[in-house]
Structure 1
Amino acid sequence: RAGHRRVYRPWIPEPGLWLQFDWGQGPRIGGRATYLFCAWLAWSRFRVVLPSWDRSLGSLLACLDATLRRIGGVPTYVLTDNEKTVTVDHVATVAVRHPEIVAASRHYGLTIHTCYPADPESKGGSESTVRIAKADLVPASANLRGEYASFAELATACRTFCDEVNGRPHRETGRIPAEALADEQSRLHPVVEQPYAAAFGQTRRVMWDSTISYAGVRYSVPHELLDERVWARVDGDEVVITHLERTGPVEVARHPHASKGHPQINDAHYPTRIGDPTRRAPRARSASDAEFLAIGQGAAQWLEEAAAGTARIRAKMAEAVSLAKLYGHTDLDRALGTAALAGRFGEADLASILAHH
């Protein structure tokens, strides 16, 4: 057995050369699975953990771009697993790369390497990063973490986790990764200004109603992106919409893939509206309007109800202003409210109500 034992030579990484990444199973949010993109620089041990709804090529490139911008540079090599988004086949043990990942690596100026199939030991320490991230971020009895209410809450927790592990001395190096990164950044290549967006789908301009048209179907996006350019792609049975921000690509919306005539609108993409949108509160457009509405809430209620077909509204408003001078605003406001509730908008109805009170 000793003669067949695997012998290792310690790997002494050099600054600026290697970045490793891997995927881990994240927590469930609203009954839906999430994933954790876990990356680390081999020399400084600086870690980046990002949440994702899936492990598609578009999500992978978005996470990779965000990682490069987070660390402030591009390493020479990136080492990862043989997922279908990276390696499409093996011919005589030679990995055949996905064309899009090759184009993306050229765009950023790096080289993608993968470990041998079914041999995780050839990859190194990414597995530990995934294990540590899952132990801290996935709710369990050991870490006493509660369920996540939203994807944004998980993203915040991932950022907090990274700040913690990058701000304390690493057990192996004895250095604080954030401080070591400052030294390693001088060995990293600059990050290109524009992300590699080809894998994010087709470009669309957000219209005035905070929607885009994709394959003849309208899909909503957050209203803050009005008139911005976004990317839309089909991923399985969903349409994923991505926006390129300063920190990199960000998934801003995800809808079921629909057919024409079935728009997909998410109410969370629009600001909260107060009151009934089918009823407009009266607003004064002239001095006479302002004088009438100044009587009180009953005057506004009378006008809303009387607008449904009552004749000579302006004349009756002028009459109400005159009566206010005789009876006072309080009594007249109450009378107007009573008339609105009872549907009494005749010539002498208001005076009759005042006399009865």
Structure 2
Amino acid sequence: MGELNMYRQLGIKPNFTRIGEKYGLHRQTVAKYWNQGEEVEDRRRDKASAFDEFRDVIERKAALPGVTKKAIHEFLLDRHPEAGLPKYGSFTKYCRKHGIECASEAEPDAHPRFETPPGRQLQFDWKEGLRMVDVNGEVFEFNVFSAVLAYSRAHRFIYSRTRTEDDLLACLLATFVRFGGIPDEAITDNMGALVTFAGGRRVKSERAWRFAREASFELKLCRASTPQTKGKDESSNRFVNRLLAYDRDFEGERGLIDAIARIEARSNAEPNDTTGLPPAVLFMREKEHLRPVGNLRLLQEMVGDVSVQTVPATMLVRAAGRQWSVPRACIGKKVSVLAMPSGQVRVTLDGEEVAVHDASAAAGPIVYAEDHYVEAMSGKAWFGDSDIREAARANLELLDRLGGE
């Protein structure tokens, strides 16, 4: 028996507005059905979904290897905050209704959970050999340094072009600065930046272990991909798969770095499956058990030559006999400039990395990153409506040919 007929049997006049809201109808339509002795038609299934507008995007992203529904949903929320999209549960129902499935991945190995006390352990690794294309068709091949505090599951993801020992030590130091402390131990597998093999023997990097001693933490190695010892960081690496949803939907290296930062923030804000709490909440408890970074300047000097400089209007800082660009937002602020043995120059502001340059890939005594130069040129009247990025590339090529003069 339909709802209106039930009211007729009881001799009660229904609330047309409430029934209309329930079945996706206008109250006057419900009143017409009532007066004509008819039953209401459930129009809720006919109502368009907020995801319909983005169905092509959803299907295209779902076809990418490694991308999850969670990653696609978060990508849509990030790119279309004005659309008022429903929560993740509604998104999965929409996908089921329209037969949208993500590309399958290999079945993961099962392994038991294990817990460590707060402040005890940091697990870290590389998500290596990533390749993505931006909106302009430019190809980026890069790596992501992934670290997680074992107790709170607080995550740290850092973009890196290469995976050298310089990169590793710089990322570890940046992680300690971000967390505001150092754990008892840091554990990873036999990555090439830490060990080499000669005559069947494992040879440890003296520089890396000296860095660990000065920072007062124990550096431990486990067998590669051993879940019993490094499972929480293997889990954190799965969060990086969300980055694949941004393929062809970011612009330049800066856009890629910003996407990684957003994923890190969401990873720390959403409840963990095991603890039931967001890592950011448990981190407030774990932070009390981390040892302070008491010798930051020494650790920086162990990674490379460090200097503190105030950024001028040219957006250039000095290191290794050359000048290197930083973002426009750094003008007038003090930054730390780290010149590393490999030729890399890393610049941080308030503990956050804002620029990385590679001496081997740059020409001339003045080196501007394209994104930084575009920022500097934006708003300049003499470029009018021309393509600023193309104008920036032309000026950078001229600067290289002139040897920076």
Indicate the TM-score class for this superposition, using the shorter chain for normalisation.
Answer: 0.5 to 0.7
Residue 78 of structure 1, aligned match among 186, 208, 227: 186
Is 1:179 matched with 2:284? Answer: no
Letter in 2 for 1:137: L
The aligned residue for residue 247 of structure 1 is 351
- Give deviations 1:320-344, integer Å, cap 9, x for gaps: xxxxxxxxxxxxxxxxxxxxxxxxx
Tell me the distance in 1 between the aligned counterparts of 2:199 and 2:349: 39
Q: Is the 8 A contact 2:347 2:353 kept in 1?
A: yes
- Deviation of 1:243 after TM superposition, in Å, equals 2.6
Look up the SS of the partner of 2:220 in the other structure.
strand
- Deviation of 1:57 after TM superposition, in Å, equals 1.7
- Give deviations 1:146-177, integer Å, cap 9, x for gaps: 44312222222222212222222211111221
The aligned residue for residue 31 of structure 1 is 139
Mapping 1:1-357, distance limit 5 Å = 11-25=114-128, 26-28=130-132, 30-89=138-197, 96-116=203-223, 119=226, 122-134=229-241, 136-139=242-245, 146-192=248-294, 194=296, 196-198=299-301, 200-203=303-306, 210=316, 212=318, 214=320, 218-222=322-326, 224=330, 230-233=337-340, 235=342, 239-247=343-351, 251-256=355-360, 262-266=364-368, 268-269=372-373, 271-272=376-377, 274=380
- Deviation of 1:254 after TM superposition, in Å, equals 3.0
Tell me the distance in 1 between the aligned counterparts of 2:198 and 2:231: 21
Look up the SS of the partner of 2:127 in the other structure.
strand
Aligned CA distance change for structure 1 residues 271 and 24 (closer, same or farther; 3 Å): same
User: Normalising to structure 1: TM-score of the pair?
Assistant: 0.61
Paired residue total: 259
Which structure would you say has the larger Rg? 1
Q: Is the 8 A contact 1:84 1:98 kept in 2?
A: no
Look up the SS of the partner of 1:253 in the other structure.
strand
Q: Is the 8 A contact 1:72 1:185 kept in 2?
A: yes
- Deviation of 1:32 after TM superposition, in Å, equals 3.0
Aligned CA distance change for structure 1 residues 11 and 204 (closer, same or farther; 3 Å): closer
Q: Which runs of 5+ in 1 are unaligned?
A: 1-6, 277-357
Larger helix share, 1 or 2: 2
Q: Which moved more, 1:145-154 or 1:224-233?
A: 224-233
Look up the SS of the partner of 1:62 in the other structure.
helix
Q: Is the 8 A contact 2:141 2:161 kept in 1?
A: yes
Aligned CA distance change for structure 1 residues 168 and 87 (closer, same or farther; 3 Å): same
Q: Is the 8 A contact 2:142 2:159 kept in 1?
A: yes
